[in-house]
Chains A and B, each alone.
Chain A
Amino acid sequence: MLPAMLPRHPVLDPAAAYPKIVTLRAALAAKDWPACREVLDAAEPVERTLLLRACADRAGIEEHLREVRAADPADGAAAVLLAQRLIADGWAARHTGGLLAARLAEAEPILIAAAARTPDDPAVWTARLTSARGLGLGVCEGRRRYDRLAEIDPHHLPGQSELVQQLTPRWGGTWADALAFARERAAAAPLGALNAVLVAEAHLEQALGEGGGTAAGARRHLAAPSVLAELSEAAAHSIQHPQFRRTHGWVQVLNTFAMAFCLAGEPHTARQMFEALDGLGSEYPWHYLGESAAGVIRSYRIRTAFARGGSS
């Protein structure tokens, strides 16, 4: 049977799903910090953290943000955005000797100062989880920073995803640590919340890490009945639950589940997610499978579209 309609070309820009990003980018481009703050201050905590991260790809905003900070050192949003911008810039050039280290060395003191002045800002601690990883400060320091975040918001998904990364062997942890944390935070989250995606993230990381980074290699781990059962339970707990709402972050969450089910050999389940996404994609986690995340999404979407069986 042919799919009901031809899918759109995947759109990776998060602004496609979240119009506030468009407003924020425009205000940043106009160097209108009060307008930026208006958007940010009105946002929910997770939304605010993700808005700040979504604008980290805007080159050339650094000078303006430094001026904003100089005028008001207690402006946590400006500190986080500047630090995220520096980290993103360094990360993009991570293969250019020393640049990442130099950017992190500039970003971290900004975040230390922000944590000292506005210790209750979850976006600060989320950014500090990223910087701790880049600086190689180890699992125990990552956990300490997460503890600070959890005191403010025990369900702050962007920071939880950062800690899952930190807890993987790549950054000094173990698969068991990463999974245990993901399971624990997934179980603690309210029904319908996005947090259960942590289980899918942890399994994807392990599957790709142990499977040589290829889809075929990853399948061995993900298709195991126990893992598949866990993925299904996580989806049922979150995106398939009646109380699920398309709150900020939902696009990446659905993409993560979609990729997990694709690689686990469950195309009919993945197809439901692609249909719900209606062409909205995300870099993570598809970038693991190829240079162009959009190309990877398209090829998997086509495969699932023609998949037989399943519930639809």
Chain B
Amino acid sequence: MIRQLEVDGVPTLLAPVSGPMHAGLVFRVGLADETPARRGITHLVEHLVLPGPAQVSSHLNSRTGIEHTYFHVQGSAERITGFLAEVCAALRRLPVDRLDGEKEILRSEAEGRVSDPLPMRRHGARDFGMPSYPEWGLDGLAAEHLHEWIARYFTRDNAALWVAGDELPEGLALDLPDGARQPAPAPSSALAQTPAAFTGAGERAAWDTVVRREARAAVFANVLERQLDRDLCRRSAIAAAVRTEYQPRAARTARITAFAEPLAGHRDAALGGLVDALAALQAGRVEADDVTTVVELTCDGLREAEERGGRLPGQAFNVLAGLSVRGLDDAIAEVRAVTAAEVAEVATAAYGAGLLMTPAGTHAGWAGYPVTPAESVPVSAGRVRRARGDRKLRLVHGDEGVSVVAGETVRTVRYDACAALLAWPDGARELIGDDGITVRVEPTLFRDGAVVTAEIDAHVPAAHRITMPAREPGSIPAPRRRLWAGTLVRPD
């Protein structure tokens, strides 16, 4: 039974648990609130607020998610009270002396991270597309930026607390600044149509979709995983691993992702198997046995989570979204009521909203998937420059924006829909449109290229500018030279 209380104006959920006591303080802020030029700011705040490395242990953790950031502690009542007091104190007096050190830690954390391009392709370079982007903001972030961010998001009015225990710890206080509730941004769309597909950069075949947030959708995600496991791992040895994930969002929708990691030399088969599994979804073909099994496992999982206090974070997120807190019995009843026919309905809807990422070197045009992004419209008014030594590459630039025309393909970023500008010291620029489309300008490839660099710099506000580290001279592109070998070298 979850009790709804309040601690210093912060909505608080309390529920008894069988194991050790734990608590978490969550703020309604995450990657979806960032911009490319500020990407990483929430994570940096999270790192600075978490007490120094000496105290970090398995009983303490914090996490920056897409819509939420939380600080979590497990231990005695005193430990919980003390930890939460430290978090609040750090938010009031940010330990900015650790700024450079934490930036360094974040940079090394990022090194092993593999970017998932699906969010960017679906949403663009904004809100729910931000998880695809690196923490570009780190270099330019100063204490004042962090203070602004905290004042906006890490406030009493934008927080919720959960405590897994019999009662609230004595002396529990949350000394947070006042502010306002910040609703999660609405997800943007960069897709002209769905289903659609694009080619990824690695081995992986992946797919995502957005459906209504409800029990049958969560069941569907697990049913799909069983289907993929059967098709790609058991019936034929094609994938080393398959996985699906169900991620509820505040906006009463949920993102479902699926991916298959192909065995060596099996990219085409992994794609083929995924395409077939998705087609089965479209046809609403769902194995009733899978649904029964998943419903059972989900109910067991909910009961277990309830005992550990594992349902509390999700319920705290609900409170922040203005949704009601759901008891275990209600949640189980909802899952129990899910039928195979309902899962089939979700499957059809999920297919319709799907976005497929094919492994590098493959495409899904053969299966009838339209390619995303669709062709850009070139900027209407502007100067045209041909690349030196490459007749197929052209640049169109003017007050509206910049287009690169490479053979048949056109990519455009308009200044009124420009999310970010990457700027290299050598003059290269990359414009990133709100829709995630990028236009790279290499001034060395064009006569008077520096003029274009200056024009772009004048059009993009400084707040959108991201300074990139200097490149090795060898990696700066040079125009292709025409070889007149025939006139210089006499054949033997």
Residues of A within 8 A of B (CB): 104-105, 108-109, 112-113, 115-117, 119, 132, 135, 137-138, 140-141, 143-145, 147-148, 151
Contacts and interface: CB of A to CB of B under 8 A. Distances in A.
Given A105-B365, A117-B285, A112 B276 contact: yes
A116 B265 contact: no
A147 B366 contact: no
Contact of B269 (A105, A117, A141, A151): A141
A140 B238 contact: yes
A116 B269 contact: no
Closest 7 CB pairs of A and B: A116-B279, A109-B368, A140-B269, A116-B283, A138-B268, A141-B268, A144-B269
A116 B227 CA distance: 13
Given A137-B272, A138-B269, A143-B236, 10 more contacts: A112-B368, A115-B276, A116-B285, A117-B283, A117-B285, A119-B285, A138-B268, A140-B238, A140-B266, A148-B235
A145 B272 contact: yes
B272 to A, nearest CB: 4
A119 B280 contact: yes
Contacts of B279: 112-113, 115-116
Contact of B236 (A109, A135, A147): A147
A116 B283 CA distance: 6
Contacts of B265: 140
A116 B273 CA distance: 11
Interface string B260-287: 0000011111011101100110110100
22 contacts: A105-B365, A105-B366, A108-B367, A108-B368, A112-B275, A112-B276, A112-B368, A113-B283, A115-B276, A115-B279, A119-B285, A137-B366, A138-B268, A138-B269, A140-B238, A140-B267, A140-B268, A143-B269, A144-B236, A144-B269, A147-B235, A147-B236
A224 B384 CA distance: 67
Interface of B: 235-236, 238, 265-269, 271-273, 275-276, 279-280, 282-283, 285, 365-368
Nearest to A115: B276
Nearest to B279: A116
Nearest to B351: A116
Contact of B268 (A109, A116, A137): A137
B276 A108 contact: no
A135 B268 CA distance: 11
A135 B269 contact: no
Contact of B366 (A108, A113, A140, A143): A108
A108 B367 CA distance: 6
Contacts of A135: 366
Contacts of A115: 276, 279
Given A137-B272, A140-B266, A143-B236, A105 B368 contact: yes
A108 to B, nearest CB: 5
A99 to B, nearest CB: 16
A127 to B, nearest CB: 14
Contacts of A132: 272
A135 B362 CA distance: 12
Contacts of B276: 112, 115-116
A104 B235 CA distance: 26
Nearest to A117: B283
Contacts of B365: 105
Nearest to B238: A144
A159 to B, nearest CB: 15
B367 to A, nearest CB: 6
A109 B367 contact: yes
A283 B267 CA distance: 35
Contacts of A117: 283, 285
Contacts of A119: 280, 285
B68 to A, nearest CB: 37
Contacts of A116: 276, 279-280, 282-283, 285
Contacts of B366: 104-105, 108, 135, 137
Nearest to A105: B366
A122 B365 CA distance: 25
Nearest to B367: A112
B484 to A, nearest CB: 34
Contacts of A148: 235
A292 to B, nearest CB: 34
A140 to B, nearest CB: 4
A157 B265 CA distance: 27
Contacts of B266: 140
A116 B265 CA distance: 25
A151 B285 CA distance: 18
Nearest to A112: B279
A140 B239 CA distance: 12
A151 to B, nearest CB: 7
A114 to B, nearest CB: 9
Nearest to B275: A112
Contacts of A137: 268, 272, 366
Contacts of A104: 366
Contacts of A108: 366-368
A113 B457 CA distance: 50
Contacts of B273: 144
A303 B279 CA distance: 53
Contacts of B282: 113, 116
Contacts of B269: 138, 140-141, 143-144
A151 B272 CA distance: 17
A301 B378 CA distance: 66
B26 to A, nearest CB: 42
Contacts of A144: 236, 238, 269, 272-273
A112 B269 CA distance: 14
Contacts of B267: 140
B280 A151 contact: no
B29 to A, nearest CB: 42
A108 B364 CA distance: 11
Contacts of A138: 268-269
A119 B276 CA distance: 10
A145 B282 CA distance: 19
A140 B236 CA distance: 10
A133 to B, nearest CB: 12
User: Interface centre among A109, A112, A147, by most B CB within 10 Å?
Assistant: A112
Contacts of A141: 268-269, 271-272
Nearest to A110: B368
Nearest to B262: A140
Nearest to A137: B268
Contacts of B285: 116-117, 119
A151 B235 contact: yes
A45 B276 CA distance: 22
Nearest to A74: B283
B197 to A, nearest CB: 13
Nearest to B368: A109
